[in-house]
Structure formats: structure tokens, C-alpha cells
């Protein structure tokens, strides 16, 4: 009896509608980015047809057999006793948002996709750049050349890994105004973002909605991981009470980052998420795991009760970032008639501009004056930073792009 044969890479054929007749005996049905060639069990024949249809990619032809069932896909994970049948069922019914599709987000998202998380939402405001390829494992050279949206291309790649889960992408800058709508209905959030103001906003949202999230951060060759359950103390704000002033902390764009370290941190984040989602909540680590891969140092940091007792978020239930970010967002605006965006400062700060300028050395031409420093990315794009933390990003009118550059190069 003949069986359907799947032809991958079929999305490149385009424009065929749902079903097309190919020759006399074969029908091709479009399905989830695949073409199913029906009434054939001969792989060579399917490959030949795919080639005739003109797909620019090498074809991977895959015979559908009774082995390729959803049950079989997760067999090894289900076999792991703490997960089992019930844990796997829970994973498959869970919704997870991955906030940021960079070095941590792409890796964590792939692990969760393969593990069979039922709904996965990918969120990122940026496009793929050439410097991302060193560590952001879902992206290829073409993505950077074309400058495609990270969230969308990640969704398409993950769909080819597991077409049975519900994947969605949002290309947005998450703020206090839209965080509810963006994360609504999620059982857990992976923190794969690149700045502290968004983490503190996520922390507030998590406490308000009692939703778990897994913090992860990595700069240079060091990083840390901890799941916060959103049910009460402690929380992320116990550790980081305010957004560090601009320029106070290193970012991947100023200090560099090692791909082996980001993969390990993201893997640990996905691991905590799987424990939580599969119902193994006792197995979740209760300390902050801090790893320095270069110094070969592993530390476990317990968040002290003293810190929790003075925490505005989890103790006092004051959600400053959920309430207050709106004001900062309103102060970020495109400058009329100029191809520039102004990003608001942090209020009462006096930056050490010379120190930040030193950190920028090697990233582009740096101009220093008594009042500001300016980093030229190319002929048209530059970032001018003032002592009060205010910045003007020239070469764009996109607020999200300006914020992204600010978070990456100022912090």
C-alpha cells in the first residue's frame, strides 16, 4: 500500500493553494510548510518531483510511517520517571512566552519546542544582525543579510522542528502598556531580554498575575539563572531593587559574550521551566545559580529574608514598573523633521561619560565633548549620550529601534 511522502522546503514553492495535481497519479497537499505527496511511497520519486517544482533548497524527503507519531516523539522524555505520562501531558497543555529571541531565547525556545510545550509565543523587537550568528542558534546568514524579524524567523525555524505545537511571534517592544495583552494566558515566561527595566517590569507583572518566570542573564562568560514563581517572596526585585543607572552595567554589546556560556544558561532556564511545567515543582532550584565559565566558578546565592522584607515589589506589593514605565515611554519620541529619536534619561543621574566612552572604544568612531559623547555606528546612525542619561539616536525614526540601541550600548 502506498503512503504519503513529505517534502520539506515546500514553502519556497509558493502560490499553489492547498492542493495541486502533479502529473497523473500524484496530488500535493500543502500542510504546515510541508507538501505531502500522496499516493507514493518512493522517496526518489518524491525528491524528483520536488526538484521539478523548483524549490531552491536541497530537499529532505521524509517517509511518513507509523513510527512518526506524536506519542513516539516524546517517548524518551516520558520515559524519564519524574516527567512520565502525566508530566508530558502537562507540558503539552502549557503556554510559554519567550521574551527576547537572542542568545538565550533562541536556545531555550528550541529546547521547549522539542520538549513539546503546547503553545510557545516568541517576542522580540529586533531584526537579525550579522553579529548575532556567533551564538543565536536559530538564525542563518541569509536572515542577517535580509534583516528579518528575529521573532518571526525563529517561529518559522521552530515550526520545522515541531509542526505539532502552536507557535506565534510578536515583533514588539514590551512596555507597561502592552505587557498584559502580550503575556496574557501564559503559564510561564522565559526572561531572555537584554535590559533591567524590562526584567523589573516582568517581575511586577509576574507578582500581579501570579505567573512564574525564569530569569536568565549572561554577559561575557558569566551568567545566572533562577525561577521566580510569582506567588510571593522572594522576587527579582529583592536582588535588583532599581534599574541600574545607564552605563553602570556591562552589556553583551560593550563587554562581549561567549556562545558556550549563553547556551548553558539558556539550557538551565529551559530545564527549570520543564520542571515547573511538568508538575515537578519541588525540584525547582530555590537559589540563584551563578556560573562563570571562564573563571570556573559556580555559586549558589540564597536571597536573604532581610532583602525580601524590605522589597517594594513582593513585600509591599508596589508595582512601580508596571505603573511607572508608561511615563518613561512617553518621554521617548521621534524628533520632528529629524531622522532621530530621543530616549529619556533616568531622572537624577550624573553619568561618567568618559568611562562609557572607553567602553565604546572599538565599536565605532567615538566623539567626546564636555557635554556629551557620541558613538557612530556608520555614516548615518549614531548615539549621542548626555550626562543625565538622555540620548538622541540619529538615523532612525523607529522608537523601538532607538530603545534597542540604547539598551544595548548604554545599558
Comparing CB distances to Zn ion, the nearer of 284 and 349 is 284
Binding mask 224-263 for Zn ion (x = CB under 5 A): -----------x-xx-------------------------
311 lines the binding site for Zn ion (CB under 5 A): yes
Out of 314, 351, 399, 402, name the contact with Zn ion by CB under 5 A. Answer: 314
Of the candidates 392, 386, 102, 368, the residue with the CA atom closest to the CA atom of residue 247? 386
Residues, the chain, total? Answer: 411
Which listed range, 142-150, 179-187, 290-298, 313-321, lies at the site for Zn ion (CB under 5 A)? 313-321
**Separation CA 266–CA 261 (nearest Å):** 9
Comparing CB distances to Zn ion, the nearer of 49 and 238 is 238
**Separation CA 262–CA 265 (nearest Å):** 5
Of the candidates 60, 107, 55, 34, the residue with the CA atom closest to the CA atom of residue 263? 107
Binding mask 27-56 for Zn ion (x = CB under 5 A): ------------------------------
3-state secondary structure of 190: strand
Q: How far is the CB of 319 from Zn ion (least distance, A)?
A: 11
Which listed range, 37-45, 88-96, 289-297, 305-313, lies at the site for Zn ion (CB under 5 A)? 305-313
Which listed range, 78-86, 92-100, 190-198, 309-317, lies at the site for Zn ion (CB under 5 A)? 309-317
Q: Please, which of residues 365-394 interact with Zn ion by CB under 5 A?
A: none
Q: How far is the CB of 323 from Zn ion (least distance, A)?
A: 16
Comparing CB distances to Zn ion, the nearer of 265 and 314 is 314
Comparing CB distances to Zn ion, the nearer of 50 and 314 is 314
**Separation CA 174–CA 202 (nearest Å):** 9
Comparing CB distances to Zn ion, the nearer of 136 and 211 is 211
Contact criterion met (CB below 8 Å) for 10 and 55? yes
The DSSP output letter for 41 is -
Comparing CB distances to Zn ion, the nearer of 307 and 385 is 307
Q: How far is the CB of 304 from Zn ion (least distance, A)?
A: 11
Counting residues that bind Zn ion (by CB under 5 A) gives 6
Of the candidates 292, 223, 278, 273, the residue with the CA atom closest to the CA atom of residue 252? 223
Of the candidates 149, 179, 264, the residue with the CA atom closest to the CA atom of residue 217? 264
Q: How far is CA 55 from the centre of its chain?
A: 30
**Which distant-in-sequence residues (6+ apart) come within 8 Å of 7 by Cβ?**
28, 34, 35, 36, 37, 46, 47, 49, 50, 55, 59, 60, 61, 62
Comparing CB distances to Zn ion, the nearer of 261 and 311 is 311
Q: Which residues bind Zn ion (CB under 5 A)?
A: 235, 237-238, 311, 313-314
Amino acid at each position: 500500500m502506498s503512503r504519503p511522502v513529505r517534502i520539506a522546503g515546500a514553502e519556497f514553492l509558493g502560490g499553489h493553494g492547498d492542493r495541486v495535481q502533479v502529473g497523473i497519479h500524484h496530488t500535493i497537499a500543502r500542510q504546515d510548510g510541508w507538501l505531502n505527496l500522496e499516493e507514493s511511497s518512493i522517496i526518489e520519486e518524491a525528491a524528483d518531483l520536488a526538484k521539478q517544482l523548483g524549490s531552491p533548497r536541497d530537499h529532505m524527503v521524509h517517509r511518513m510511517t507509523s513510527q512518526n507519531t506524536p506519542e513516539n516523539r516524546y517517548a524518551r522524555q516520558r520515559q524519564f520517571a519524574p516527567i512520565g505520562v502525566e508530566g508530558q501531558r502537562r507540558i503539552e497543555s502549557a503556554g510559554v512566552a519567550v521574551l527576547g529571541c537572542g542568545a538565550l531565547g533562541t536556545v531555550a525556545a528550541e529546547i521547549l519546542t522539542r520538549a513539546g510545550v503546547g503553545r510557545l509565543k516568541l517576542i522580540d523587537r529586533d531584526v537579525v544582525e550579522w553579529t548575532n550568528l556567533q551564538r543565536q542558534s536559530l538564525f542563518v546568514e541569509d536572515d542577517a543579510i535580509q534583516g528579518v524579524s528575529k521573532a518571526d524567523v525563529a517561529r518559522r525555524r521552530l515550526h520545522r522542528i515541531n509542526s505539532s505545537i502552536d507557535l506565534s511571534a510578536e515583533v514588539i517592544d514590551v512596555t507597561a502598556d502592552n505587557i498584559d495583552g502580550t503575556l496574557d494566558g501564559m503559564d510561564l515566561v522565559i526572561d531572555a531580554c537584554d535590559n533591567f527595566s524590562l526584567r523589573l517590569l516582568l517581575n511586577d507583572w509576574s507578582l500581579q498575575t501570579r505567573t512564574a518566570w525564569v530569569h536568565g542573564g549572561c554577559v561575557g562568560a558569566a551568567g545566572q539563572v533562577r525561577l521566580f514563581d510569582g506567588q510571593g517572596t522572594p522576587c527579582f526585585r529583592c536582588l535588583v531593587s532599581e534599574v541600574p543607572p545607564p552605563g553602570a552595567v556591562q552589556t553583551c554589546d560593550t563587554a562581549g559574550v561567549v556562545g558556550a556560556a549563553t547556551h548553558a544558561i539558556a539550557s538551565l532556564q529551559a530545564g527549570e521551566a520543564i520542571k515547573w511545567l511538568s508538575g515537578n515543582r519541588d525540584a525547582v532550584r530555590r537559589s540563584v545559580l551563578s556560573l562563570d565559565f571562564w573563571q570556573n566558578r559556580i555559586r549558589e546565592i540564597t536571597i536573604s529574608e532581610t532583602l525580601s522584607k524590605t522589597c517594594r515589589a513582593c513585600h509591599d506589593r508596589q508595582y512601580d514598573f508596571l505603573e511607572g514605565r508608561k511615563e518613561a515611554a512617553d518621554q521617548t519620541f521621534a524628533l520632528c523633521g529629524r531622522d532621530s529619536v530621543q530616549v529619556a534619561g533616568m531622572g537624577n543621574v550624573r553619568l561618567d561619560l568618559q568611562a562609557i566612552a572607553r567602553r565604546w572604544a572599538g565599536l565605532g568612531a567615538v566623539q567626546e565633548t564636555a557635554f556629551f559623547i557620541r558613538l557612530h555606528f556608520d555614516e548615518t546612525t549614531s548615539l549621542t549620550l548626555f550626562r543625565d542619561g538622555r540620548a538622541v539616536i540619529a538615523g532612525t525614526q523607529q522608537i523601538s529601534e532607538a530603545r534597542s540601541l540604547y539598551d544595548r550600548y548604554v545599558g
